[in-house]
Structure 1
Amino acid sequence: MTMMSLPPDTEAVATRAREAERDRVSTIYDLTGRLNLERSFAEDLVKRGVSVDESRRLILDQVAAKSDETRTFPHVSVPLGGRDERITRRDAVANALLHRYSPTLFPLEDAARQYRGMTLLELARESLGNAGVNTRGLSRDEVATRALHSTSDFPEILSAVTNKTLRQAYDAYPRTFALFCRQVLATDFKSMHRVQLGEAPQLLEVGESGEFKRGTLGESKESYKVKTYGRVVAITRQTLINDDLDAFTRIPAMYGNSIAQLESDVVWGIITANPAMADGNALFHTTHKNLAGTGAALDVGSVGAARAAMAKQTGLDKKTVLNVRPAFLIVPASLELKAEQLVAQNLVPAATSSVVPQSIRTLAPISEPRLDAASETAWYLAASPNQIDTIEYAYLEGQQGAYIETRNGFDVDGVEIKCRLDFGAKAIDWRGLYKNPGA
């Protein structure tokens, strides 16, 4: 007797199919989620019924494409015995462009001579060729687009040129505040609490029993934090086509200059704004004994009185004399010449009463035009930050000064350059500063 085959269990088949579909969908969403891909990309794969294996391949392709869009420029390892040829060539092209920007600041190096006189578009074509891209028959627009969105060295070259021009302009800007202020590094963006140290307790005679008595340090606390400032500069493909070198040399240089100006604005703004300290009184206040009761013109007598007031400053116990000695004479631009004449070393006065004491002649004059907007007559004395705190300014650790990042543009067809400054400043102690409103 022949046994008849049983009909397939349609319900079991349907169950396995549903489970397989659930596995496929969950796998796709899981992979795209872990690789930070858009959910719409996963939804498209699910709707089209793409298999798991094919989905994996497409997901990897999407990750590679996304990596090209947001490029990072890792350090290239240098083989023992010499520099990497790619780095050498990239630096040479950057030097040729920098030499075009400013021959005096960036002398032409021997390796860069072969690139001298080449336009931006010619250098872009050269970079594509070195990367193995055939540019024969490509239009100017196609060359510019591929140079900005390819694995060639050209984006790195633009980044290097922009970085150096921005940094050079940033470093060249005069920072008059650095002489009498103290620089520190902040580890994060949280408020930093700075202790205004009082005097150490006086030493007492040790009796025959050998007992040392304990003392305490007086202290007052000031706090501030680092803030972030920034802008984005774009280098478009039109820049390459038009051979507009200024777009990524002079414009970044202007940003470097403006970043340095911002630092000066923040620090000198403390002097002109006269903010409140932790004790509730303004930085320059009669309670702090660092503000002249009556304004006086800049001369030997008024400077002598200001110097004496600083010397008689006391510790937080209101008793211990600190003998703070001024090191800088700070004036607005309108008083710069008068300040220089006052501290000049080679003047031979006709009368003894006109002699400028050596202690005043040792003051270093600092002229700052930002002070003129607040007052053209007010002048200041400041102690060295090595003797006592005055104003403290801070950069984020690892991000000192102007900092730039580069990526392929999302909002523009080109390269975006982000300029950033992490900076903060605060008056820490009033006893190292003195103000006379002038007359």
Structure 2
Amino acid sequence: MNKKQKRQQKMLRQQEIVNAAKTAGRDLTAEEQSEFDSLQREIETLTSEIEAEERQAGVAGQTPPAPTPAAPQTDPAAETQRAVTEERNRIRSITTICRDFGLEADTYIQNGSTVDAVREAALEHVRQHGAPIPAQGRATVTESAEDKFRAAAADALVMRSGMALANPADGARQMMGMTLRDLAIECLSAEGHSGLNRRSSDELYGMLQRQFYNPTAAFPAILDNAINKAYVEGHKTVAVTFDQWTKKGSLKDFKTHDNNYLAGPVGEFLEVPEGGELKHDVFGDEKLPTRKLKTYGRQFTLTRQAFINDDIDLVTRIPAKYAASARKTINKQCYQVLVGNPAIYDGTPLFSSAHMNLLAKGTGITKEAVQGMILALQNQKDQFGEAIIIRPAIIIVPSGYMFDMYTLFYSPTINTEGNTQAVNPLYRYKDSITVVEDPTINALCGGFGNVMPWWLLGAKDDTDFMEVDYLNGQEIPTIRRMETPGTLGFVWDIYLDWGVSVMDYRGAIKNPGIEVKNPINLA
């Protein structure tokens, strides 16, 4: 095989990689992209070598061909059979190449083209109609006109509802004026239906409903795409705080995971005298709490009336609100653990004197209280009686405490009892301790006028206080379209699997707090 044939084979392999990704409706995987780039480098090397050889041949002249040896005597019947076999192989190879590259095989078969000539024609076709070697050296899967229309229509629905998109699809802004009826007519017309403008919105909706399970139908796919983008935006932008102080975990199933053990600390290094023996170390284990996932979700419908009324909110804002609701639900569950103080894996309330993580008397935001909580956090011991080095990192407070917190940490000096200025020892923590304020705490405590606690937590890297587990790490809700008998409309399910677990009480200190008065005086 000469260098040109090798180059052709490598280019054909590149096209096969791109075709496989396009057929699956996806981008290239990391492995495919790596192979594609490797082939590209080899193609460029072969091209340089071929061009160099051609230039050299042009200067030096072609080497005269070697004399052809006399042909041996052959059996005419055997020669005929060989010719038939070669022709069959030629037709089979040409048919395969043309099928893979969308060419008409009959033309090449009838005019006697060789397999190499058909390969050249296929490569030329690739160069003119979606070459596998983009200018930037990266492979991309070309979208069809239908794919582009669906993407633009979905983005138009999202933007029409008032939601901003960073990079809307081409043509999306021009389609923002289309109603659901206009979009339905556009989709049905592209699928071969006629006379749609004379049909009522109710008739159009009936036609769309019959497409529910058709995987190639455009209108349901556009709705799915728009809803997906809307609920991802809602999930991303909702104002929650639990992920600032909890760890994210992952479980692969819904079983109760109760066989997690924590290995004990290694022993201290002991001096080994000359000629002495090393002492064998013995480890201990302690069981950690169980973890378990639960499923949470809701369902909503684009009803027949909503379609006729052109209610875009049911396609965009409602899914976004449900996605935000999932995050808010997790946020509330995490704070319910802090405020409710349930018994944990050892049968003792999370914050208690037994755990050495509860102040005996609640206070407001004072220097003495914060210093005491820092000392209590740093003097915790692990399950094996060894000191833990925990850096104070997060203070969680209800709404109304934030102002005092900033005054406490951002003032370089403080007033002493003698009314003199002194260095504020907490000023050094202003960049290392984050204050998290969440009104969820206020609501769980009954609102202003009630006693509200606050907490000091250690750095996530030092201790594992609370963990939110997701099924296979998936923290964005899943959405799927389904059919509900007796429902006039397109129905979607939104659901997410998660579990909240206290992993180690040593990672937090609780101040029972004092009554928080309403700072807003309303008539």
In the alignment, which residue of structure 1 is the partner of 2:226? 161
In the alignment, which residue of structure 2 is the partner of 1:26? none
8 Å contact 2:261–2:285 — kept in the other structure?
no
Q: Deviations over 1:166-206 (max 9, x none)?
A: 12111111231212211011100111234456543333333
RMSD of aligned residue pairs (Cα, Å): 2.3
- What code does the residue aligned with 1:416 have? V
8 Å contact 2:408–2:426 — kept in the other structure?
no
Residue of 251, 266, 280 corresponding to 2:318: 251
- Is 1:282 aligned to residue 352 of structure 2? no
Residue of 152, 155, 172 corresponding to 2:237: 172
In the alignment, which residue of structure 2 is the partner of 1:87? 147
- Is 1:416 aligned to residue 482 of structure 2? no
Residue of 156, 179, 191 corresponding to 1:119: 179
Work out the CA distance in 2 between the residues paired with 1:264 and 1:126: 42
In the alignment, which residue of structure 2 is the partner of 1:357? 426
8 Å contact 2:184–2:208 — kept in the other structure?
yes
Work out the CA distance in 2 between the residues paired with 1:304 and 1:197: 32
Structure 1 residue 283 displacement after superposition = 0.8
Work out the CA distance in 1 between the residues paired with 2:323 and 2:235: 4
Residue of 399, 408, 422 corresponding to 2:474: 399
- What code does the residue aligned with 1:415 have? F
In the alignment, which residue of structure 1 is the partner of 2:286? 219
Residues 343 and 217 of structure 1: CA distance in aligned 2, closer, same or farther (over 3 Å) = farther
In the alignment, which residue of structure 2 is the partner of 1:100? 160
Name the stretch that deviates more: 417-426 or 134-143.
134-143
1:38-437 mapped onto 2 (5 Å cutoff): 76=25, 82-102=142-162, 104-105=164-165, 109-136=169-196, 137-150=198-211, 151=214, 152-193=217-258, 194-195=260-261, 198-207=264-273, 208-318=275-385, 320-344=386-410, 347-349=412-414, 351-353=420-422, 355-361=424-430, 362-372=432-442, 373-374=444-445, 376-397=451-472, 399-437=474-512
- What code does the residue aligned with 1:182 have? K
- What code does the residue aligned with 1:321 have? A
Name the stretch that deviates more: 396-405 or 417-426.
396-405
Between Structure 1 and Structure 2, how many residues are aligned?
364
Give ranges in structure 2 of 5+ residues lacking alignment.
Answer: 1-22, 28-129, 133-140, 515-523
The alignment's TM-score, normalised by the length of structure 1, stands at 0.77
Work out the CA distance in 1 between the residues paired with 2:508 and 2:170: 52
In the alignment, which residue of structure 1 is the partner of 2:42? none
Work out the CA distance in 1 between the residues paired with 2:262 and 2:364: 31
Name the stretch that deviates more: 161-170 or 78-87.
78-87
Work out the CA distance in 2 between the residues paired with 1:359 and 1:113: 51
Higher relative contact order (CA 8 A, sep 6+): 1
- What code does the residue aligned with 2:429 have? I
Q: Secondary structure at the match of 1:438?
A: strand
8 Å contact 1:331–1:380 — kept in the other structure?
yes
Structure 1 residue 218 displacement after superposition = 4.1
Residues 311 and 398 of structure 1: CA distance in aligned 2, closer, same or farther (over 3 Å) = closer
- What code does the residue aligned with 2:271 have? E
Q: Deviations over 1:256-306 (max 9, x none)?
A: 221111110111111112121222211101111110112222211111111
In the alignment, which residue of structure 2 is the partner of 1:30? none
Residues 110 and 166 of structure 1: CA distance in aligned 2, closer, same or farther (over 3 Å) = same
Q: Secondary structure at the match of 1:230?
A: strand
- What code does the residue aligned with 1:355 have? N
Residues 282 and 202 of structure 1: CA distance in aligned 2, closer, same or farther (over 3 Å) = farther
Structure 1 residue 340 displacement after superposition = 2.1
8 Å contact 1:124–1:147 — kept in the other structure?
yes
Structure 1 residue 105 displacement after superposition = 4.0
Residues 127 and 106 of structure 1: CA distance in aligned 2, closer, same or farther (over 3 Å) = farther
8 Å contact 2:395–2:455 — kept in the other structure?
yes
Work out the CA distance in 2 between the residues paired with 1:240 and 1:107: 27
Structure 1 residue 249 displacement after superposition = 1.5
Residues 198 and 181 of structure 1: CA distance in aligned 2, closer, same or farther (over 3 Å) = farther
Residues 196 and 288 of structure 1: CA distance in aligned 2, closer, same or farther (over 3 Å) = farther
Work out the CA distance in 1 between the residues paired with 2:193 and 2:473: 37
Work out the CA distance in 2 between the residues paired with 1:398 and 1:218: 27
Work out the CA distance in 2 between the residues paired with 1:106 and 1:272: 39
Residues 277 and 123 of structure 1: CA distance in aligned 2, closer, same or farther (over 3 Å) = same
Residues 206 and 129 of structure 1: CA distance in aligned 2, closer, same or farther (over 3 Å) = farther
Residues 171 and 123 of structure 1: CA distance in aligned 2, closer, same or farther (over 3 Å) = same
Bigger CA radius of gyration: 2
Work out the CA distance in 2 between the residues paired with 1:347 and 1:359: 9
Residues 278 and 206 of structure 1: CA distance in aligned 2, closer, same or farther (over 3 Å) = farther
The alignment's TM-score, normalised by the length of structure 2, stands at 0.65
